[in-house]
Structure 1
């Protein structure tokens, strides 16, 4: 039974659902079972389905080894609701399924979800003009002799590098790099660029502390207080105050306080707007492409609002430290600390505005990778910062050069025009037979005097 990686592109979550459905129907062993003195052929128990599907998900690169048995049960519930499976009496449409010996079977109809055909981006979305699209910035158009000073000023002003232009450069270069990494033909396949605020990118790359964490103007937010308390209690340093509260289960209470805070936020840290983008990044999150996935997530997290990125940075650091702290008492009697971290916070990191059947599994996969590589993913990519800074500096240099050349051309034209006018006037004075010699000498003297004064 073969499986394949669902690469980045539109409707990736739906394609993943269809892929899991196809593998489950093709590989799940079917047997004859007896229940209530009746025999049912080509069916399976719920527990057998949980065993088989859990193994499939853990070994599938689209989901990974952090999938739990309980998550597998939740997926089977969704299968029953969406008529991927039905009980042996043909009932479906609810999520009434438990890890038990209840018998289920596959329906004869196809359970695959249809993949919508995306409309061409050009027909529904007007592309925003970019600074790099403005003709004439990189090429100097030579001036003709008859051009006036107003045209010179207009050309100079048209080449001005504005704040909006610079913001467009930050956005365009970042998205160009990200599109290349994801390997999509158009960025509209995974994200509407209009959702990208270039000010977020600039803030996230330039306003960071010595640890690389985004700094905010509001340094007294509720989250900072919650996290400082959690860090102090869960990771006491050399100045640890033994008088601080400590009792059996104290660490669990602190941990619950932090999780309650995150689940009280109005939307996940990766935001609803960027949900489809992060789902598509999972398409490059394969064992042989780890470095590529890290770079893609580096760029994606730069698009977040600074407050969300800061929360994500601090949360991932805390999760990583708790997972690696062998001296900390167990936070759950039956679940390991790492698994607890991933499954506790995955829902408040990634989620869609409308319920998605694979939300929980996909969030687990992403958060697990984020936690393991948080130091690399949530750092500022220096290569990108240098590329953007160098490009803006180059454009500023070109602008100064163009302004200088344009002014020089104007001065040359003004001088040439003056000289030509002088020549025409002298020719008239010397050849006009209607002017007396006395008036001719007088006018020549005036012209000569005016020429020397203007020079």
Structure 2
């Protein structure tokens, strides 16, 4: 049965649960089975259900091929507990289901979980106030990943539109406070994230009170040459013995610490040490508060949206506390190297290294504070994607820093209108996409025309080089070149004041003419 993509939005995990439930009830083959000489119709064995549901989950683009048979069994147990299925005697409410020939059936009605209207962690009234306050304090133009160097704004007063440049005077450079800079980092990050997720608002998937701009700023600016966050507080870092164990596994069998004697099964014990540390953390690396946000990004993990998902994860991982981001970076680097290391001994009797890494560390990367029925499957899907794209996901997005610096530069140019000796401040109104595209085209064309004039007026260029550059410009921008030089005469005037070089006299002697008479 073809899977349907559950797009980003509030309570995506609940929607996915309802979707899988409907697929399972609609597609699971029902047969006749005989038990103790008695025939039962419209039922299935536990093993048959596991086989069918496992195939469904692996082929479903919302979960991916990393789903294991054991995870499928766990999901069926939750189906039994939530009365999606029942045994032949109508019993349900427990998780007593194993991979065997025990018979089960569907109840007459399937309980579809209701989707709540609001997230329980915050109230709508306070949420709307925070977002409204952000919009009033920070009205931006239409942003793209390539933010223009000098963004165009439509400037308005509360009721009147200012139409003449004479109404403005420059009041000198404006000093931005620390709070102003933090607001800029936080708001521009949220604007880009909202655009990437294609959501009308982030309020249903992200509590704005959770955003700490200092985390974003630190994660962007305090990195090593490999892009890993460098912590100022060493007490927040991984313990030395965990770092040594991770380095040992990442570089296996090239272990630099030769003082540690090895033995048969040594690598398994080292791996268990690292796993125990991460599984013992008080909360997942992506934190409980950002669970809903990362679950929504899972809806972008499609082949045609891979680049979009990477960009969304880049921004979301900047929201993490620096200590969490550093742990996540080092963990993904370790398990990536281990998964690709052909010399790594088998660490599990029934599972390959990649599958073992994903199954072991998925819950310490992503899980909900209150258990969600699809937690394990969603975490597996996310860690699998991170394992393949962690270098891109966990690098610093340069375009975000450019957008922040450009906006800070704009704000430092204070524009004030003086009326009766009292300065009246103006705000920036967001313009439509069509207006932005028109302004962008006009600004770009003006910059190209300015480039042409610079070539024409450059006195350091020789005539040969200038003609060469003009030919290149004419080839790239024929319309702009034609508007500047509509005729060949106007182009020729550009070089007419240049002194011409006399032709060398090749013939120095008077030629002799011979008679052709005979």
TM-score bracket, shorter-length normalisation: 0.7 to 0.9
Q: CA deviation at 1:239?
A: 7.6
Which of the residues 117, 127, 130 maps onto 1:127? Answer: 130
Which of the residues 380, 391, 401 maps onto 1:364? Answer: 380
Alignment check: 8 A CA contact 2:216 2:318 kept: yes
* Equivalent residue number for residue 305 of structure 1: 321
Residues 32-111 of structure 1 mapped to structure 2, 5 A cutoff: 32-111=32-111
Q: What is the TM-score with the length of structure 1 in the denominator?
A: 0.81
* Equivalent residue number for residue 399 of structure 2: 383
Q: CA deviation at 1:117?
A: 2.6
Tell me how far apart the structure 1 counterparts of residues 175 and 247 of structure 2 sit (CA, whole Å): 51
CA, structure 1 residues 125+229, in 2 after alignment: closer, same or farther (shift >3 Å)? same
CA, structure 1 residues 395+293, in 2 after alignment: closer, same or farther (shift >3 Å)? same
* Equivalent residue number for residue 150 of structure 1: none
Residues 24-423 of structure 1 mapped to structure 2, 5 A cutoff: 24-118=24-118, 121-122=124-125, 125-127=128-130, 129-130=133-134, 131-133=137-139, 161-219=176-234, 223-234=238-249, 235=251, 240-396=256-412, 398-399=413-414, 402=415
RMSD: 2.7
Tell me how far apart the structure 2 counterparts of residues 199 and 102 of structure 1 sit (CA, whole Å): 56
CA, structure 1 residues 199+241, in 2 after alignment: closer, same or farther (shift >3 Å)? closer
Q: What is the TM-score with the length of structure 2 in the denominator?
A: 0.71
Q: CA deviation at 1:307?
A: 0.5
Tell me how far apart the structure 2 counterparts of residues 232 and 139 of structure 1 sit (CA, whole Å): 56
Tell me how far apart the structure 2 counterparts of residues 118 and 352 of structure 1 sit (CA, whole Å): 17
Alignment check: 8 A CA contact 2:248 2:255 kept: no
Alignment check: 8 A CA contact 1:226 1:258 kept: no
* Equivalent residue number for residue 146 of structure 1: none
SS of alignment partner, residue 44 of structure 2: strand
Alignment check: 8 A CA contact 1:270 1:350 kept: yes
SS of alignment partner, residue 223 of structure 1: coil
- Per-residue CA deviations over 1:330-356 (Å, capped at 9, x if unaligned) read 111110000000000001000101010
- Per-residue CA deviations over 1:33-87 (Å, capped at 9, x if unaligned) read 0112221100000000000000000000000000000000000000000000000
Q: CA deviation at 1:211?
A: 0.6
Alignment check: 8 A CA contact 1:54 1:72 kept: yes
Tell me how far apart the structure 1 counterparts of residues 5 and 31 of structure 2 sit (CA, whole Å): 30
Tell me how far apart the structure 2 counterparts of residues 336 and 164 of structure 1 sit (CA, whole Å): 50
Tell me how far apart the structure 2 counterparts of residues 232 and 295 of structure 1 sit (CA, whole Å): 29
CA, structure 1 residues 163+222, in 2 after alignment: closer, same or farther (shift >3 Å)? closer
Alignment check: 8 A CA contact 1:231 1:318 kept: yes
Q: CA deviation at 1:242?
A: 4.1
Alignment check: 8 A CA contact 1:17 1:358 kept: yes
Alignment check: 8 A CA contact 1:46 1:103 kept: yes
Q: CA deviation at 1:183?
A: 1.1
Alignment check: 8 A CA contact 2:252 2:343 kept: no
Segments of structure 1 that go 5 or more residues without pairing to the other structure are 142-154, 411-455
Tell me how far apart the structure 1 counterparts of residues 253 and 4 of structure 2 sit (CA, whole Å): 47
SS of alignment partner, residue 109 of structure 2: coil
Alignment check: 8 A CA contact 1:205 1:380 kept: yes
Tell me how far apart the structure 2 counterparts of residues 351 and 239 of structure 1 sit (CA, whole Å): 33
Q: CA deviation at 1:217?
A: 1.1
Higher helix share: 1
Alignment check: 8 A CA contact 1:31 1:43 kept: yes
Tell me how far apart the structure 1 counterparts of residues 373 and 63 of structure 2 sit (CA, whole Å): 14
Tell me how far apart the structure 1 counterparts of residues 243 and 282 of structure 2 sit (CA, whole Å): 22
Q: CA deviation at 1:231?
A: 3.5
Alignment check: 8 A CA contact 2:186 2:216 kept: yes
* Equivalent residue number for residue 490 of structure 2: none
SS of alignment partner, residue 76 of structure 2: helix
CA, structure 1 residues 391+52, in 2 after alignment: closer, same or farther (shift >3 Å)? same
Q: CA deviation at 1:230?
A: 1.7
